[in-house]
Amino acid sequence: MQYPIPPNEGERLETLRRLNILDGRLPSGLDRICSVAEDLFQIPVVLMVFLEEDHAWIKYGPKPGLSEAPRSLSFCNYTIMHDECFVVNDAAADRRFAAHPYVTADPPLRFYAGSPLVTEPGIRIGSLCLVDHVPRDFTPQQMSLLGGLARVAVDELWLHHLEQVGMTSPIIGSTVGRRCSADATLNFQLEPSLTGPQVRAARGLVNWSVRELAEAAGVAPMTVKRHEARNDSLGVTSESAKAIQLALEKAGVAFVFAPGVKPGVRPR
């Protein structure tokens, strides 16, 4: 089956291989994340999928190890094309997937929701995804929760990588770059990112309408509304979030990120 391929596929594959997880040596924290997802979303199937060149390596819920499947059949190919959740409410009613072998199987895949596993800007090695055998709705709040669990999964992979290169300290921060060479570690993205409440507050600070902000940022008004509706991080790799932040900064807004304090805004 045909599927989309990210423009930075080579870099993405290199990052995945350097993590050394495809041999099944997965951090135990991933088991707990899958268990939490099962309970939180009341979903029968939770998968963690890592996409190699031709294969999808699949972790089924809290079960240990990885299973192998053809990459061409994985819905996660669509998830890794962007930074936000990819949701198919009813695959049987979606022309892209109606004839898919997973959708016509027994039991069928009818609902899919996946959040990309982003290790650094633009690098998405796979996804944390939910599957059901019946159609389902999936709210923006649920998308936010799934994205949060995906970020925790990336943290687990990051710590696993540090252990593999001989670092035992659980402290995450800039010391990593000083204690390990660039060849030894991966550059996981830890910088703070914009939140929905910050966008709303910043727009009020400059007295812009949604349309005015959308025009200044070069995005659709619906994109602004979607970002403002979220109560969590918009993601450091979201191009639309970056464009919105830049437009507001040019209009005189400073975004405030401080430890122990909710992200805020103030005049520059």
Length of the chain equals 268
pLDDT at 12 over 90: yes
C-alpha atoms less than 13 angstroms from C-alpha of 127 in its C-beta half-sphere:
27
Banded model confidence at residue 211, pLDDT cuts 50, 70, 90: very high
Question: What pLDDT score does 108 carry?
Answer: 96
pLDDT at 169 over 50: no
pLDDT digits (tens, 9 = 90+) for 170-202: 333 333 333 333 344 555 544 567 888 889 899
Percent of the chain with pLDDT over 70: 85
Q: Dihedral through CA 128, CA 132, CA 133, CA 135, nearest 10?
A: -120
For range 113-136, the mean pLDDT: 94
Provide the sign of the torsion angle of the four alpha carbons 68, 72, 75, 81, taken in this order. positive
Banded model confidence at residue 14, pLDDT cuts 50, 70, 90: very high
Question: What pLDDT score does 183 carry?
Answer: 43
pLDDT digits (tens, 9 = 90+) for 38-65: 999 999 999 999 999 999 999 998 787 8
pLDDT digits (tens, 9 = 90+) for 237-250: 578 888 999 999 99
- Judge whether 205 and 267 are in contact, CB under 8 Å: yes
Among candidate residues 156, 97, 116, the one with its CA nearest the CA of residue 6: 116
Banded model confidence at residue 13, pLDDT cuts 50, 70, 90: very high
Banded model confidence at residue 166, pLDDT cuts 50, 70, 90: low
The mean pLDDT value of the chain amounts to 85
One-letter-per-residue 3-state SS of 67-111? EEEEHHHCCHHHHCCCCCCEEECCHHHCCCCCCCCCCCCCCCCCE
Percent of the chain with pLDDT over 90: 55
Give me the domains of the chain, ranges plus CATH numbers. 9-164 (3.30.450.40), 196-267 (1.10.260.40)
